[in-house]
Every structure is written in C-alpha cells, then in structure tokens.
Amino acid sequence: MGELGRWMRETREEKNVTLEELSQKTKIMKYKLRALEEENFDVFEAEIYLKGALRRYAEEVGLSSQKVLAKYRQLYRPETEGENEETRTGFFELLWEYIRRLF
C-alpha cells in the first residue's frame, strides 16, 4: 500500500466507515474500493473510471477530491502536473460532475 491508499484508508477508518458501507454509498464495488486503497489501479478499465472512483471515495469520507486527484497525479502521472487544470479536466470530467449531480 502506498502513500495515497494509506491516506484514504486511514481517513475512512477514522470515520468508522467500512468498505461495505462505502460501497453502498458510492455505488462502487467493494473490490474496486479495496483496489484504490491498495493502489492497484489496473482493475479500472480506463483512467476516467479510476479518477471518478477516487473522487467519489474522497467525497464520501470527507477528503478533498481535488487534493486526492492532485496526489494521484503527483505520484502516478507526474508529466501532467504542469498542465492547466481546465485542460486536464476536460469534457469527461465535466460530464462526470453533471451525472453525479443527477443522482
């Protein structure tokens, strides 16, 4: 488990939230939530799904989704760190936000 996953798991445990409860709230399968905490990102079909899962997880346990995504980029996508936030967000990020608000 790496720095990002440990931070997420410790925050979840401090809030006394189980993976099962988090799965019910986020609608993300439990094995994928565990994969986030273990930083086993290969279980996600595409990076857009991974980022969405990171965002939902963070929001449900009270972490800043922007800080979680920034830490992910720092650790796993350092080539994108210098990009403009608007460029990085793009259409799919806006679409995700719209869909999230519908539910």
62/79: higher pLDDT: 62
Question: What pLDDT score does 89 carry?
Answer: 54
74 and 24 Cβ atoms separated by less than 8 Å: no
* 22/30 Cα distance (integer angstroms): 8
pTM over the 0.85 mark: no
CA dihedral for 79, 54, 33, 101, sign (positive or negative): negative
101/14: higher pLDDT: 14
Q: Into how many domains does the chain fold?
A: 1
Model confidence at 87: pLDDT above 70: no
pLDDT per residue as tens digits for the range 3-36: 999 999 999 999 999 999 999 999 999 999 999 9
Question: Within a 13 Å sphere around the CA of 59, how many CA atoms are in the beta-carbon half?
Answer: 15
37 and 68 Cβ atoms separated by less than 8 Å: no
CATH number at residue 65: 1.10.260.40
* 63/75 Cα distance (integer angstroms): 17
Host domain of residue 27? 3-102
Question: What pLDDT score does 58 carry?
Answer: 96
Task: pLDDT band for 88, please (50, 70, 90 cuts).
Answer: low
* 71/41 Cα distance (integer angstroms): 14
Question: What pLDDT score does 71 carry?
Answer: 93
Question: What pLDDT score does 68 carry?
Answer: 95
